[in-house]
Amino acid sequence: MTVPNEPGADFDRFQRGENGLLTVQQHILREQGRSPGATGEFSWLLSGITLATKMIASRVRQAGLTDIIGEYGRSNIQGEKQQKLDVYANETLLHCLSWRDSIGFVASEENELPMAVHHGSPSAKYAVVFDPLDGSSNIDVNVSVGTTFSVLRRPDDGREDVSAWVLQPGKVQVAAGYVLYGSSTMLVYTTGNGVHGFTLDPAVGAYIMSHENIRMPIQGGYYSVNEAYHNEFPEMYRAYLDHIRKGGLGKRYSTRYIGSMVADFHRTLLKGGVFLYPPTAESPGGKLRLLYEANPIAFLAEQAGGSATDGRGRILDIQPRSIHQRTPLVVGSQKEMEAFAKFAGK
């Protein structure tokens, strides 16, 4: 028996998510449908990230109840003490991504070297780099943490070494994003076609579209930097911050600094403003990692109408030399970034 469509029924509106029920998986499929020849591999890859981050979110939510708070007893490659949740988050992402045969290599903040997944296979088309739990020193005090990720395409020049796969400038990222484990859990991602935000509905276990096509305000009202290091910042950063404090951007600013880059950036993305992690005496090359922290954040910022620099040039133009390379980072709205460029002599 055939069931005729009700006359006038507009089923497209369901696919457009106009009923407020578009999941991230549906959104990825819809985005993918725009590129001819898309095979579905990419949405399967991203579903590895969404699955892993839902598992991480669940652990983060139970942090005070289970024996998951505190140090793991080892340090990572950066010499930083690993938290138990860092280890859980890393292993969960590695586990979920290892099932995706479109992935050739993965690289994590928590592992010294990238890991080969299916790189020998002709169907392996992507490398994924991530920080499994950014800002994890905040876990013990119930403050937001996040996961950042960046997806890169297999080099098309036949080079099969891991450096060629992973050490690519941010401007060629295929997709990037973060998950913020905050008062709610949110996934924010881009594939170069705008920035979209999804909130995890814990009752159904799905990320539901909550922020479509996020645009950063042209100017915000917050600057975000670790003021304790002020005297160590290079002169141009100190002069820029003084300029903001003295009302040089035409309004009174407040300061906000959470100490979790994902959370500090998320506020900057939605409310505008500027987030800075300049060079310091302890980290003269900056603290944040280029490949899996600065690059995804810079890609998102540019897609939302902002920009990101290392104080010398565009973050996304930097050719990485090593996997855990650090960089200074200044990211924010148009007006704040234009003012910074003047102080940076650009």
Interface contacts to ligand AHM, rule CB under 6 A:
80, 109, 131, 134-136, 226, 259-261, 277, 287
Under 8 Å between Cβ of 86 and 108: no
227 binds, among Mg ion, ligand AHM, none (CB under 5 to 8 A by kind): none
Based on the number of CB atoms within 10 Å of its own CB, is 194 exposed (0-12), middle (13-18) or buried (19 or more)? middle
**185-190/195-201 β-pairing:** antiparallel
DSSP 160-203: -SHHHHH---GGG-SEEEEEEESSSEEEEEESSS-EEEEEEETT
Nearer Cβ to ligand AHM, position 52 or 124? 52
Q: Which residues contact 212 (CB under 8 A, 6 or more apart)?
A: 196, 197
130 binds, among ligand AHM, Mg ion, none (CB under 5 to 8 A by kind): none
Shortest distance (Å) from residue 92 CB to ligand AHM: 17
Please, which of residues 130-149 interact with Mg ion by CB under 5 A? 131, 134
- Return the sign of the alpha-carbon dihedral for residues 299, 60, 210, 275: negative
94 binds, among Mg ion, ligand AHM, none (CB under 5 to 8 A by kind): none
Shortest distance (Å) from residue 218 CB to ligand AHM: 24
SS3 assignment, position 75: strand
Nearer Cβ to ligand AHM, position 47 or 283? 283
Q: What span, in angstroms and rounded, lies between the C-alpha atoms of 272 and 268? A: 5
Q: What span, in angstroms and rounded, lies between the C-alpha atoms of 216 and 268? A: 8
Nearer Cβ to ligand AHM, position 194 or 259? 259
- Look at phi and psi of residue 241 and say left if phi exceeds 0, alpha if psi is from -120 to 50, else beta: alpha
Please, which of residues 218-247 interact with Mg ion by CB under 5 A? none
Shortest distance (Å) from residue 131 CB to Mg ion: 5
Nearer Cβ to Mg ion, position 178 or 233? 178
Binding mask 104-123 for Mg ion (x = CB under 5 A): -----x--------------
Shortest distance (Å) from residue 186 CB to ligand AHM: 16
Nearer Cβ to ligand AHM, position 47 or 226? 226
Shortest distance (Å) from residue 327 CB to ligand AHM: 12
DSSP state of 314: B
DSSP state of 140: G
Contact footprint for Mg ion (CB under 5 A): 109, 131, 134
